[in-house]
Amino acid sequence: MEWPGALEEQERVLIGPDENNPIPYIIKSINVKGRNLTISLDGIDSIEASEAIAGHFLYLPRQWLPPLDEDEYYWSDIIGLDVMSEDGKKLGVVTAIIPTGSNDVYVCEGSGGELLLPAFEDVIVKIDVPRGILTVKLPKEL
């Protein structure tokens, strides 16, 4: 589960060129429209200050996020999982997630190329984050 609205619930964010030592910023205002985000941060009051953080990453520590219900996952839990067929064949690794509105699609990169897996119960059999495995039942079309 990922949603830009999660930022609207925050008072601050961390920003940095990588996850090592990001700098905390207080959110002055935030506007989310669809997949577009406009954010105003305390201390970023000039073009020069904005340019200094351009290209950096915005982080929210997991403990700042709301708890999930059973069988719900953050995208960061799913990206990087090994994708296995029900018969134990490794198909690849989840490298990205595409939101489509009705359901997410997991992008699996493997030796056979790219495989797009719709996040439906009849395709995604089990997500085992502790073991790092996403088990799938491939539709005949795939």
**5-64 under CATH 2.40.30.60, yes or no:** yes
Residue 33 has pLDDT above 80, yes or no: no
Domain extent listing, the chain: 5-64, 75-136
CB atoms within 10 A of CB 77: 16
pLDDT in tens, 67-116: 888 888 989 999 999 999 999 999 999 999 998 888 899 999 999 899 99
3-state secondary structure of 71: coil
Measured distance CA(59)–CA(22) in Å, rounded: 8
**Helix ranges (DSSP H) in 9-141:** 47-53, 75-78
* pLDDT averaged over every residue in the chain: 90
User: How far is CA 125 from its chain centroid?
Assistant: 20
The confidence band for 62, taking pLDDT boundaries of 50, 70 and 90, is confident
Identify the bridge partners of residue 84 per DSSP, sorted by sequence position: 90, 135
For the CA atoms of 84, 89, 95, 98, the dihedral, rounded to the nearest 10 degrees, stands at -60
Residue 1 has pLDDT above 50, yes or no: no
The confidence band for 142, taking pLDDT boundaries of 50, 70 and 90, is low
The confidence band for 3, taking pLDDT boundaries of 50, 70 and 90, is low
The confidence band for 4, taking pLDDT boundaries of 50, 70 and 90, is low
The confidence band for 61, taking pLDDT boundaries of 50, 70 and 90, is confident
Q: How high is the pLDDT of residue 34? A: 72
The confidence band for 5, taking pLDDT boundaries of 50, 70 and 90, is low
- 92-126 burial code (b ≥16 CB/10 A, e <16): bbbeebeeeeeebbbbbeeeeeebebbbeeebbee
Query: Which CATH class for the 75-136 domain?
Result: mainly beta
